[in-house]
Chains A and B, each alone.
Chain A
Amino acid sequence: KNQVEQSPQSLIILEGKNCTLQCNYTVSPFSNLRWYKQDTGRGPVSLTIMTFSENTKSNGRYTATLDADTKQSSLHITASQLSDSASYICVVLAGNNRLAFGKGNQVVVIP
């Protein structure tokens, strides 16, 4: 079983609308959690990093939340733009310095 599960697997949203992506993890001990954005044909790019003590962090129109007790994180995209069409990957760093990757949330923004 994958240690990082993301949902929904894919979604289509209208330009200008908001959406929320979910990441549940079982990695333990937990060190930090990152969200990456991967455009088609490109490598992933880091959006946010969150440590155990952080509940929320924003990067422009992207806001990540973390609940370390329930081992859940979300990435909220506000006022989506066509350029937000991408795969969003949740990556958890375990205490043994091993990285666990989710399979990604595929977002398609349509005009």
Chain B
Amino acid sequence: GAGVSQSPSNKVTEKGKDVELRCDPISGHTALYWYRQRLGQGLEFLIYFQGNSAPDKSGLPSDRFSAERTGESVSTLTIQRTQQEDSAVYLCASSLAQGGGSPLHFGNGTRLTVT
């Protein structure tokens, strides 16, 4: 379909390993967001990309987390030296424009389990 696609859908990794999560936004959507959702908790903002502007990284919890996006295409979220506390669902969303009347379109997330 034409929705936001995230891969992998599930990832189990050992503590200390690096992981890379991928997000394919809806074509034409200039805004892209990454969120973290721990079990039973609300969405926690991580990072936001808008076109070619500098990303808003204010939500990244530590320097082990980083994300990239080339233009208005695919984004990757990288977590280095994973810890058990990183276990969560990582959700990606895209929208036509920043804020305003454009809804966020979410992918189904990547469920990360760190053992």
Contact = CB atoms under 8 A, between A and B. Distances in A.
Interface of A: 2, 31-32, 34, 36, 41-46, 49, 51, 89, 91, 93, 97, 99, 101-104
Given A43-B93, A97-B98, A103 B41 contact: yes
Interface of B: 4, 41-43, 45, 91, 93, 98-101, 103-109
A44 B42 CA distance: 11
The 10 closest A-B pairs by CB, nearest first: A43-B106, A103-B42, A46-B103, A97-B99, A101-B43, A101-B42, A44-B106, A43-B108, A42-B108, A43-B107
Nearest to B44: A101
A34 B103 contact: yes
A74 B103 CA distance: 19
Q: Is the interface of B mostly helix, strand, loop or mixed?
A: loop
A45 B106 contact: yes
13 contacts: A2-B42, A31-B99, A31-B100, A36-B104, A43-B106, A43-B107, A43-B109, A44-B43, A44-B106, A46-B103, A99-B45, A99-B104, A101-B42
A62 to B, nearest CB: 14
Contacts of A93: 99-100
A103 B41 CA distance: 6
